[in-house]
Copies of this chain bind each other. A is one copy, B any other.
Amino acid sequence: MTPEVAVTALGALAQEHRLAAFRLLVQAGAQGMAAGALAEALGIAPSSASFHLAQLTHAGLIQSRRESRSIIYAANYGAMNDLMAYLSENCCQGAPCTVDAGCAAENAA
């Protein structure tokens, strides 16, 4: 992952509504959520939701599919995984930035 891509992904998550949307989509799993349901859950206008979902999509963090009249969004776990790996490699160098406590213990051994 290039720094440019990382910046785009970080920027996509660096906004109240987008972070909340992404969290909802992670919880929703592969089933995903419709744009309208997301807008309502976030308490924002449909056009605003569309704007934010486009940003997340552009960053590769989510995907969409049409299902009848709805457009269903779903989290792209792979992209998030890549971002986490990038941050771990480039921003935690030589530091105990292991996420899993159990792993940290194992790594220390």
Contacts and interface: CB of A to CB of B under 8 A. Distances in A.
A68 interface: no
Q: Quickly give the copy total for this chain.
A: 2
A29 B80 CA distance: 26
A92 interface: yes
Nearest to A84: B99
Contacts of A4: 16
A34 interface: no
B29 A94 contact: yes
Interface of A: 3-4, 6-7, 10-11, 13-16, 19-20, 22-23, 26-27, 29, 75, 77, 80-81, 84-85, 87-88, 90-100, 102-103, 106-107
